[in-house]
Amino acid sequence: MAHDPLLTYRTLVTHFTDFLTVAIHTILHERNIYPRTSFLSARKYNYAVRQSRHPKVCEWINDAIAAVETELLKSAVDRVAVVIYTKDLKPTERYMFDVSRFPAVDPTDLDTRLERRGENGDPVPIVPLADMDEQFRATMGKLTGCRGVLKPLPEGCTFTVAIELKSEGQPPVGHPQPWMPVQPELSETSGEKHTRNTVHPVRAVAAGELVFESWIEQAVDAT
């Protein structure tokens, strides 16, 4: 894994996007979005994970992750969500990854070494990223175990990836446009829906500078 001297914001984002890719494949497998037989067993972070074999699925996921990475590199992302929709396009579940605690880095500093300084300006030793693998493993374990926790999904569900941006950034519009602006539906900002969600915590990962939380929101009134 990464060695501390080479830790830059870009490597941090790369670790996170790798993890996100595996997480999306796992979610697809667990929630039966695609038939389980279309997944093969793979190994990541020294852990057994499932990876989809369908080329279009993989391609879509890779493109989505690339778009998320672009936004992450601008330090504009508040949260990343993998949303599961029913056949009627009603969101039933959201797998949230709160990345607001990522360091906010200038675009010019993407490849400079990250160093944490204490209150008085002295450099604080960084927590080694060695146990980042372990934390990812734990998160994977939790994600795979979600099948027993969540209600089974109805037939014909689909999924997508959404990001919630920080308020001070610019929306990613322009040509070509990878993101589609949508109304906040299951998000916490819409007050009335808030009480209808059940939240299952997954994991708060803190590996050096890579700090994010993850949880699962499930719409209670999903039919």
Partner 1 sequence: MAQDYTEWLAINVLNEQQLVSYRSLSRALKIHSNLAKQMLYDFHRKQNTKKPRAVHATYLITGTKRKEIPNDGTHSQREGDDTVMQSSPPLPSSSAPKPDEHDEEPIAVQTVMLVKEENVLQAKAKFESITGTHIYSLQAKGLGDLQTLTECNRKIAADYASEDPLEVWKQYGTIQNPKVKRRTQRRQPPPPRAPMVKEAVAKATPAAPTTKPTTLKKESSKDSQDSKLASKPSSAKATPEPAKKPPTTKRQGSDIFKSFAKGKSKAKAAQESQESAGSTPKTAPEDEPMASFSDEDDADEGDVDVVEDVPKVVDGKSKKEREAELQAMMEHEDEVMADAAEVASEQAEGDVNEGAIDKPESQAAEEPKETVQVENGRRRGRRRVMKKKTVKDEDGYLITKEEAAWESFSEYEPAPKKIKVPPTTSMNKSTTAAAGKKGAKPGQGNIMSFFSKK
Residues 6+ apart with CB under 8 A from 2: 11, 15, 129, 132
Paired tokens of 166:
């920080």
Indicate which single residue of 145, 154, 169, 178 sits in contact with partner 1 (rule: CB under 8 A).
145
CA angle 97, 59, 8 (to 5 degrees): 50
Q: Are 197 and 220 in contact (CB under 8 A)?
A: yes
63 SS3 class? helix
The span of 15-23, 51-59, 109-117, 146-154 binding partner 1 (CB under 8 A) equals 146-154
Among positions 3, 101, 116, 147, the unique one binding partner 1 when judged by CB under 8 A: 147
Residue span binding partner 1 (CB under 8 A) among the ranges 44-52, 113-121, 153-161, 170-178: 44-52
Element of type H or E holding 51? strand 47-52
Least distance to partner 1, CB of residue 191, Å: 31
The CA distance from 138 to 79, in Å, is 20
Question: By C-beta, is 96 or 143 nearer to partner 1?
Answer: 143
Q: For the CB of residue 30, give the shortest distance to partner 1 in the complex, in Å.
A: 6
Q: Are 39 and 29 in contact (CB under 8 A)?
A: yes
Shortest Cβ 172–partner 1 spacing (Å): 26
Q: Which of 137, 165, 172, 206 binds partner 1 (CB under 8 A)?
A: 137
**Binding residues vs partner 1 (CB under 8 A):** 29-30, 36-37, 41, 46-48, 50, 137, 141, 144-149
